[in-house]
C-alpha cells in the first residue's frame, strides 16, 4: 500500500494552469453533460467495455464534455459472488486499461463504475478518466446491506484517508476526498458519490459542496419498484437545490440480471433544485443537459448560510478541457417568471393571489380601515390590484362596497378604458367614483405658467401626481388607505412618476413583473363565473399597455408603453437574470438571443438591454423609498429587505461588459 497523500503533495497537484481571461468561465459557465446507461452483459467485461467506448465516442462527437456511467457498469452490478473471482477482477482491470488507451483522443471527462481489488479488500469505485489518464478512483462510502441489497458481502466501505495506488499501470489517487478541478474553467469542481451515498442523512456530497464542488455525479444501480422513480427524482433535485450545484445521476439499466430485480436506466440531471433532463425509465436513452456553473456559484455567494470553502480534507486533482463555446441545447424560457406547465401555472397564480390578499387583509385589519381606495385606469396593473382588493374583502366577509374604486379621466383617457373600468366595477359590486382631473391640472399648468399644448414630462407627471393627491385625500374622507397598483417591471425601469403612481400606502403588485400580471388577470378571466367580468377582463387584456397621459387621437390610445421603453417580455427576462441570477449583461444577451431567436434581431436585444440597464441604474432612487408590499417571488425591490443599491451607482461597468467579445 502506498503512503497517504501529504498536504504538500496535495497542494502541488492542485496547482492549476493560468487561465485566458476571455475564456475564464468557458463561455459564461455553460457545460454540456450526459448521464448514460450503455447496454451490458453481466460479468462480460469485454462486451461492456465495447459498449462504454461506443457511448463515450458518441457523446464526444455531440460536444459533451462531462459524461457519467452507472455503478459497476464495467462488470454489471448484479454479479453476486462472481465479484470475488480473480478472473472477473483481472478482466475488469484489463478492459479499463483498454478504455483508457482508446480515450486518449477524446475530449470529455468520463466517470464509470467498477469493482477494485486493493490490498486485501474489494471496493466499489468510480473511475474518473481524462484523455487516457486515470485521474482518480473514488470508493463508495455507504454500503447498503438491507432489503434487496447485500453489498457488504463483497465490498468494503471507503476509508477516511486518501492514498496513492497503482492501477492500470498508473499511479492513481484513491479515496473519497478528491475534487477534480478544471484548469480552463475554475468554476468546474467535480466530486463523486455512489448510489446509496445520496440516500443517507448526511451524504458525502454535502461535505464536497462545502469544499467547493459545483458538480456532483452519482453512479447508481437503483432497482425499479413502484413509486421509486418519483422518489429518485425528488432526491436528486432536492440535493441539487440544497447544495446549489449541478447533480448528474446515471442509473443501471435493463442489461442487468433480472433474477430478483429489474433496473430501468432512469438517468437524471438537475441543478439548483430544477430538473434539467431525465431519461424515461426503460427507455434506454441517455440524458443530456447543459448545466450553468455560474448560476450555482452566484447562488452560493448570495446565500450567506452556505459554508465557506473548506478544502483541508480534499486533494485537488487538475484536468483540462478544450476552450470552446457551449451550444445551448435545451430551450431557455422566454418568461422566466412564468411556469410553462399549465397546471403549475394555475397553481402559481392561485398561490400569488393568496399571498397578495393575505398581506392586504392584515393591513386592513391592523389599521382598522373602513375602506380601501384604489385608482383604476382600465389597465392591467390597476385591474389586478382591484381584483386582489375584492378577494381580500370577501375573505374578511366585508361588503365589496368598502372598496372605493376611482377613475380619474384626463387628456389621454379613451372611451374603451373608461368603459372597461365602469363595466368591471359594476359587475364586481364595488363603489365607483369618477373624478375628472382635467380642470384641476389645467389650473396647475396656469399656476406654473406652462403651455398645456407642450406635451412634455411636466404635462404627463402633473396628471399622475394629481391622481395620487386625489386618492390620498379621498382615503382620509372615507377613513381608508390607498392601495398601490405599480408592478415590479415598472420599478425596475423607473416607469412611474415619483410621488405619483409611485406612491401609495400598500402596493399589492410591487413584486409581480408585468408578464406575470397579464397571466394573473387572465387567470381571473378564465375562472370567474360572472360572464360580464370575464368579458371585460378579456378586453382589458387585449388593450395596449399605456399610461394614457398624452391626448388620444380619434378616440385611440397614442402613447404605447412598449414602443417607448421596449417589450416587457425582454425587460422581464433581463430583470430576472440580472437581479435574481446576478449574470453579466454579456451572458444575459447571449441567453436572450437563444430564448428569443426568430422574435428579435441581435441589434434589437442590444438596444433594449442597454435601455434596461441605463433605466435600472438611473431610477434606483425611486426604489429606495417604495411603500410596503407583499413579496410573492424570488425577486423583490423592497429597500427593507431584498434590494439595497446606492441611488448614485454608475452603470459603466455593466455597459462595458456588453462591448467585450462574445
Give the residue numbers annotated as catalytic, written as ranges.
71, 140, 195
Helix (H) or strand (E) holding 604: helix 602-618
What's the rounded Cα separation, in Å, for the pair 428 and 382?
14
Cell numbers that stand for 43 in this block: 460479468
Pairing of strands 170-174, 163-167: antiparallel
Nearest to 360, CA basis, from 625, 623, 628, 626: 628
What's the rounded Cα separation, in Å, for the pair 377 and 473?
18
Q: At what angle do helices 531-542 and 380-395 cross, to 10 degrees?
A: 150
DSSP for 560-614, written as a single string: -HHHHH--HHHHHHHHIIIIIS---HHHHHHHHHHHTTTTS-HHHHHHHHHHHHH
Q: Is the dihedral of CA 486, 487, 488, 494 positive or negative?
A: negative
Q: Is 598 exposed, middle or buried (0-12, 13-18, 19+ CB in 10 A)?
A: exposed
Count of C-beta atoms within a 10 Å radius of residue 604 = 15
Pairing of strands 268-271, 246-251: antiparallel
What's the rounded Cα separation, in Å, for the pair 83 and 89?
7
Cell numbers that stand for 9 in this block: 503533495
Q: Is the dihedral of CA 374, 376, 382, 386 positive or negative?
A: positive
Contact call for residues 207 and 201 (beta carbons, < 8 A) = no
Contact call for residues 573 and 592 (beta carbons, < 8 A) = yes
Segments in 494-567 forming alpha helices (H): 514-527, 531-542, 561-565
73 phi and psi, to 5 degrees?
-70, -20
DSSP for residue 489: H
DSSP for 293-330, written as a single string: HHHHHHHHHH-TTSPPP-GGG-EEEEE-----PPP--S
Per-residue CA distances from 587 to 151, 289, 566, 609 (Å): 46, 18, 20, 12
Cell numbers that stand for 36 in this block: 448514460
3-state secondary structure (DSSP) of residue 342: helix
Contact call for residues 77 and 259 (beta carbons, < 8 A) = no
Q: Name the β-bridge partners of 136.
A: 128
What's the rounded Cα separation, in Å, for the pair 545 and 367?
33
Helix (H) or strand (E) holding 178: strand 178-182
Pairing of strands 506-507, 480-484: parallel
Nearest to 434, CA basis, from 409, 398, 468, 459: 409
Cell numbers that stand for 174 in this block: 484513491
How are strands ordered across the β-sheet holding 431-434? 431-434, 403-407, 371-375, 480-484, 506-507
Helix (H) or strand (E) holding 115: strand 109-118
What number of CA atoms fall less than 13 Å from residue 551's CA on the CB side?
8
DSSP for residue 263: B
Amino acid at each position: 500500500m502506498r503512503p497517504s497523500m501529504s498536504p504538500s503533495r496535495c497542494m502541488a497537484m492542485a496547482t492549476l494552469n493560468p487561465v485566458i481571461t476571455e475564456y475564464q468561465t468557458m463561455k459564461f459557465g455553460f457545460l454540456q453533460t450526459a448521464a448514460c446507461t450503455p447496454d451490458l452483459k453481466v460479468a462480460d467485461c469485454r462486451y461492456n467495455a465495447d459498449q462504454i467506448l461506443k457511448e463515450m465516442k458518441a457523446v464526444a462527437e455531440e460536444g459533451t464534455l462531462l459524461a457519467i456511467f452507472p455503478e459497476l457498469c464495467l462488470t454489471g452490478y448484479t454479479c453476486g459472488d462472481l465479484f470475488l473471482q480473480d478472473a472477473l477482477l483481472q478482466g475488469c482491470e484489463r478492459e479499463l486499461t483498454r478504455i483508457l488507451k482508446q480515450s486518449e483522443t477524446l475530449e470529455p471527462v468520463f466517470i464509470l463504475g467498477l469493482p477494485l481489488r486493493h490490498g486485501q479488500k474489494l471496493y466499489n469505485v468510480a473511475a474518473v478518466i481524462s484523455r487516457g489518464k486515470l485521474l482518480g478512483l473514488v470508493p463508495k462510502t455507504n454500503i447498503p446491506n438491507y432489503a434487496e441489497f447485500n453489498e457488504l458481502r463483497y465490498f468494503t466501505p471507503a476509508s477516511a484517508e486518501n492514498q496513492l495506488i497503482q492501477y492500470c499501470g498508473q499511479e492513481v489517487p484513491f479515496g473519497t476526498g478528491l475534487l477534480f478541478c478544471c484548469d480552463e474553467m475554475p468554476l468546474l469542481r467535480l466530486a463523486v458519490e455512489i448510489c446509496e451515498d445520496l440516500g443517507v442523512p448526511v451524504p458525502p456530497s454535502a461535505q464536497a459542496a462545502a469544499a467547493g464542488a459545483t458538480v456532483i455525479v452519482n453512479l447508481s444501480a437503483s432497482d425499479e419498484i413502484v413509486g421509486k422513480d418519483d422518489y429518485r427524482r425528488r432526491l436528486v433535485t432536492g440535493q441539487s437545490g440544497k447544495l446549489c450545484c449541478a447533480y448528474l445521476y446515471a442509473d443501471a439499466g435493463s442489461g442487468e440480471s433480472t433474477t430478483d430485480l429489474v433496473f430501468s436506466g432512469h438517468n437524471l440531471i438537475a441543478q439548483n433544485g430544477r430538473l434539467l433532463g431525465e431519461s424515461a425509465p426503460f427507455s434506454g436513452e441517455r440524458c443530456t443537459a447543459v448545466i450553468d456553473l455560474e448560476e450555482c456559484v452566484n447562488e452560493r455567494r448570495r446565500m450567506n448560510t452556505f459554508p465557506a470553502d473548506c478544502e483541508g480534507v480534499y486533494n485537488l486533482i487538475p484536468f483540462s478541457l478544450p476552450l470552446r463555446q457551449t451550444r445551448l441545447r435545451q430551450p431557455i424560457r422566454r418568461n422566466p417568471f412564468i411556469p410553462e406547465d399549465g397546471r403549475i401555472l394555475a397553481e402559481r397564480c392561485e398561490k400569488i393571489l393568496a399571498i397578495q390578499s393575505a398581506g392586504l387583509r392584515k393591513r386592513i385589519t391592523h389599521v382598522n380601515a373602513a375602506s380601501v381606495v384604489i385608482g383604476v385606469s382600465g389597465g392591467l396593473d390597476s385591474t389586478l390590484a382591484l381584483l386582489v382588493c375584492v378577494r381580500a374583502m370577501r375573505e374578511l366577509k366585508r361588503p365589496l362596497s368598502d372598496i372605493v374604486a376611482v377613475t380619474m379621466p384626463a387628456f389621454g383617457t379613451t372611451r374603451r378604458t373608461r368603459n372597461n373600468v365602469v363595466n368591471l366595477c359594476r359587475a364586481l359590486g364595488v363603489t365607483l367614483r369618477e373624478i375628472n382631473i382635467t380642470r384641476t391640472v389645467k389650473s396647475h399648468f396656469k399656476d406654473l405658467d406652462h403651455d398645456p399644448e407642450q406635451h412634455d414630462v411636466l404635462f404627463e407627471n402633473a396628471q399622475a401626481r394629481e391622481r395620487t393627491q386625489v386618492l390620498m385625500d379621498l382615503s382620509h374622507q372615507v377613513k381608508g388607505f390607498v392601495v398601490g397598483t405599480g408592478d415590479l417591471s415598472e420599478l425596475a425601469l423607473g416607469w412611474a412618476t415619483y410621488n405619483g403612481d409611485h406612491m401609495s400606502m400598500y402596493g399589492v403588485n410591487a413584486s409581480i413583473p408585468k408578464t406575470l400580471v397579464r397571466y394573473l388577470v387572465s387567470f381571473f378571466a378564465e375562472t370567474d363565473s360572472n360572464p360580464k367580468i370575464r368579458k371585460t377582463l378579456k378586453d382589458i387584456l387585449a388593450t395596449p399597455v399605456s399610461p394614457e397621459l398624452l391626448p388620444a387621437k380619434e378616440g385611440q390610445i397614442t402613447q404605447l408603453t412598449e414602443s417607448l421603453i421596449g417589450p416587457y417580455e425582454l425587460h422581464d427576462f433581463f430583470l430576472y437574470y440580472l437581479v435574481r441570477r446576478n449574470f453579466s449583461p454579456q451572458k444575459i444577451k447571449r441567453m436572450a438571443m437563444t430564448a428569443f431567436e426568430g422574435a428579435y434581431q441581435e441589434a434589437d436585444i442590444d438596444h433594449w438591454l442597454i435601455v434596461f440597464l441605463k433605466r435600472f441604474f438611473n431610477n434606483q432612487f425611486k426604489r429606495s423609498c417604495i411603500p410596503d408590499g407583499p413579496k410573492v417571488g424570488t425577486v423583490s425591490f423592497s429597500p427593507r429587505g431584498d434590494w439595497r443599491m446606492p441611488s448614485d451607482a454608475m452603470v459603466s461597468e455593466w455597459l462595458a461588459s456588453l462591448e467585450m467579445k462574445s
